[in-house]
Amino acid sequence: MPTLDSLEELLHDEMRDIYDAEKQLTKALPKLAKKAGASELKSAFEDHLRQTERHVERLEEAFEQLGLPVRGKKCEGMQHLIAEGDDMIGEAEDNATRDAVMIAAAQKVEHYEIATYGTLRTWANLLGKTDVAALFEETLEEEKETDQNLTSIAESFVNEAAAEEGAGETEEGARKRGRAVSVRHPRATAAEKRNNGRSRARR
Ligand code: FE
């Protein structure tokens, strides 16, 4: 069990980490917005950029409330998440696939932030810093909303692709779309494979 002294240190350290992470995101999000194919996704990235700027400000407020200097510490976790996302985006061959990859990369980032802000809120509460905990809670809720919004966008693409497929399209279009959908929903593809296996076994 960490002592309260060390928990306080952990809180400060984690705040510096996420402060740097949020700053990295204020640079990455405009690039994602620029590359997004679907207008819905573009505005989601633009909206989240404005939110991220507020997350930075809230952290600065938290540092001040705790009487700490406003200082970041290189967040390697975020650096690698962004770099991995960039690599995958670079490999995408068409707009739909690129959008799917960007959603996946952005959701990994959101989950990293959700984990961090949940931890920060808990630690701040344990230390009796309830005002600071409330700031973290506010950001936590916004990160969760962004994550859910990205899921909705991903699902709306799949529905759209399915509807278009039903209406009939070129073989080339279906091939590309099929690849994009499988990137978005790898688990659905795995389930399909299992079902195919079962129907073969029954024969
Ligand atoms: Fe954030």
Give residue 91's Cα distance to chain centre: 19
Under a CB-based contact definition with an 8 Å cutoff, are residues 29 and 121 in contact? no
Structure confidence at residue 55 (pLDDT): 98
Under a CB-based contact definition with an 8 Å cutoff, are residues 15 and 63 in contact? yes
- Torsion angle of alpha carbons 27, 28, 29, 32, nearest 10°? 140
Structure confidence at residue 195 (pLDDT): 45
Structure confidence at residue 87 (pLDDT): 95
CA of 160 to the centre of ligand 1 (A): 29
Helix intervals (H) in the chain: 4-35, 39-65, 76-91, 95-126, 130-167, 171-184, 186-202
CA of 49 to the centre of ligand 1 (A): 9
Structure confidence at residue 98 (pLDDT): 93
d(CA 148, CA 154): 10
CA of 197 to the centre of ligand 1 (A): 43
CA of 109 to the centre of ligand 1 (A): 9
pLDDT, one tens digit for every residue, the chain (203 residues): 656 679 999 999 999 999 999 999 999 999 999 999 999 999 999 999 999 999 999 999 999 999 999 999 999 999 999 999 999 999 998 889 999 999 999 999 999 999 999 999 999 999 999 999 999 999 999 999 999 999 999 998 767 766 666 565 555 554 544 444 444 444 444 444 444 444 444 33
Structure confidence at residue 21 (pLDDT): 98
CA of 111 to the centre of ligand 1 (A): 10
* pTM of structure: 0.78
CA of 112 to the centre of ligand 1 (A): 10
CA of 124 to the centre of ligand 1 (A): 18
Domains located in the chain, CATH noted: 4-154 (1.20.1260.10)
Structure confidence at residue 135 (pLDDT): 98
CA of 51 to the centre of ligand 1 (A): 7
CA of 159 to the centre of ligand 1 (A): 29
